[in-house]
Structure 1
Amino acid sequence: MFNFKPSISEQVLLGTFVKTPHPHIIEVLAIAELPFIVLDAEHAPFDRASLDVCILAARAHQLPCLVRVPDSNPSTVLNALDCGATGVQIPHVCTAQQAEDIARMCHYGERGRGYAGSSRAACYTTKPMAKHLSDSKAKTVVIAQIEDPEGVENIERIAQVEGIDALFIGQVDLTVAYGASSVNDDRVTQASIRIIEAAKASHKPVGMFVATAEAAKQWAELGVQFFCVGSEHKMIIDGFKREINVMNS
């Protein structure tokens, strides 16, 4: 089960971003035996209905399903978690205070996530409140995505925030923010290494987006433990281009 609690897994996990808001693609990815997926509600056309049905498909296949939400508004986070997502990935986390606010809104408690016993996450009123509260606390995964220079500068404090279960390096956004022309720019590399070291110091996993599994290998050696490799869109494009090249060779 894709669950960063209570300890860091020694196994490197390769998942992917999902851009297609339809349950069929979730079923196909489950057959591919991916250890997790991330529904990209930040950059793909997911609404509440499509999130709901895609999360349902993932749960039906016991496929751990995170949601990269478009913002850190409480209602946005609540939507994903009530639908039964394994956890959420929050973009543009820049300060420890922001991380603390995010951790609180992802969990039940004073000034935290609003409680509803009628949601899928609560088994539609059939799970006792104490059990649902306990399960949510133990299993909900909260990932802070670091993709701004401000977030890098504050990363040591962000990593220490209780309730933030993992960090995720957004190298593409960092590339743009630093005015670099490539993710291989030294500024992006050094920022990524700083995030990895902060995660290690706080005994938390760190993830990253990469275009290919080959690119993941070097970062895994540096301590990155989970990767979103491309997306189903990229896999479709690459797969058919490869077949076309075979025919034309």
Structure 2
Amino acid sequence: MMGTFLKTPSAIVCEVLGLTALDCVCIDAEHAPFGPMEIDACVAALRAGDMPSLVRVRTGTAGEILGVLDAGANGVILPHVVSGAQAAVAARAAHYGGVGGRGYAGSSRAAHYTTGTMAAHLRHSAEHTVLIAQIEDEEALTELDAIAATPGIDCLFVGRMDLTLSMGATDPLDARVVAAVEQICAAGRRHGKPVGMFITPQESCAQWQVLGASLFLLGSDHSFLLDGAQRLRTRLAPSVC
């Protein structure tokens, strides 16, 4: 699967991205100025375009997780997961019953504003809600098995840039960082959990697919604007006599 990050709090940008062949859009509420109403509007626009949405939340509190899922997002990316215990708390906030303790509101967008049954909403949520643990701290590397084995955690996502900084490196292609990413992929394989990641321009998806990665969130609406403007300028630059 291939998706991208949304950095601009704009339902119109979401509407445009909904017309693309991407598999999903991740609203980056961790690093961009998204408030609850902006997230709500963007999720609604993506749903209208049948584009699955993820939200990378800022801190991962139960209230944050509940808010984005009630708004109708398909899943949550939880930043800086460093332990199985932390993962279990988040899983409880994201899921109903069983492993979960998520509060129910039949009036939410996710529950179709009271027009559906509780049973239908619970069934749909169980089948489609995705909770992704972002691994981006060196201390998480010793907890990978505990995190990946946590019921309710559906995927591990490599936060490559913060992982690089956490390991005292400045190059995401540093051999130690690459080895850590391979460790995360191996943990995913051991526990039957998909692995997602952002990759550098020097890498290919194929080299990580071999190790089990199957979700790639690449670029953002900002990078699309910058790349498109640069290509236009280059293509239409006046000839120099």
Give TM class, smaller chain.
over 0.9
Letter in 1 for 2:24: F
Deviation at 1:240, TM superposition (A): 1.2
Aligned to 1:28: 16
User: What is the root-mean-square deviation in Å for CA atoms of aligned residues?
Assistant: 1.5
Match of 1:106 among 82, 90, 94: 94
- Unaligned segments of structure 1, at least 5 residues: 1-12
Secondary structure of 1:94's aligned partner: coil
Distance in 2, matches of 1:213 and 1:22, equals: 30
Secondary structure of 2:121's aligned partner: helix
Letter in 2 for 1:116: A
TM-score of the pair, normalised by structure 1: 0.91
Cα distance 1:194–1:214, how it changes in 2: closer, same or farther (>3 A)?
closer
Q: Which is higher, the Rg of structure 1 or of structure 2?
A: 2
Aligned to 2:204: 215
Distance in 2, matches of 1:165 and 1:78, equals: 17
Moved over 4 A (4+): 211-214
2:172–2:200 Cα contact (<8 Å) kept = no
CA deviation digits over 1:21-41, x for unaligned, max 9?
111111111111211110000
Distance in 2, matches of 1:201 and 1:124, equals: 40
Distance in 2, matches of 1:241 and 1:217, equals: 27
Deviation at 1:222, TM superposition (A): 2.4
Aligned length: 237
Aligned to 2:35: 47
Secondary structure of 1:115's aligned partner: coil
The answer to whether residue 56 in structure 2 is matched with residue 57 in structure 1 is no
CA deviation digits over 1:111-168, x for unaligned, max 9?
7111111100111111111221121111100000000011111101111111100000
Aligned to 1:5: none
- Unaligned segments of structure 2, at least 5 residues: none
Note the 1:147-158 alignment, pairs <5 A: 147-158=136-147
Aligned to 2:178: 189
Aligned to 2:68: 80
Q: Which moved more, 1:108-117 or 1:166-175?
A: 108-117
Secondary structure of 2:210's aligned partner: helix
The answer to whether residue 6 in structure 2 is matched with residue 18 in structure 1 is yes
Aligned to 2:56: 68
1:14–1:226 Cα contact (<8 Å) kept = yes
Secondary structure of 1:241's aligned partner: helix
Distance in 1, matches of 2:169 and 2:119, equals: 50
Distance in 2, matches of 1:214 and 1:131, equals: 42
Distance in 2, matches of 1:66 and 1:101, equals: 19
Secondary structure of 1:20's aligned partner: coil
Cα distance 1:211–1:229, how it changes in 2: closer, same or farther (>3 A)?
farther
Match of 1:240 among 224, 229, 233: 229
Aligned to 1:116: 105
Aligned to 1:138: 127
Letter in 2 for 1:207: G
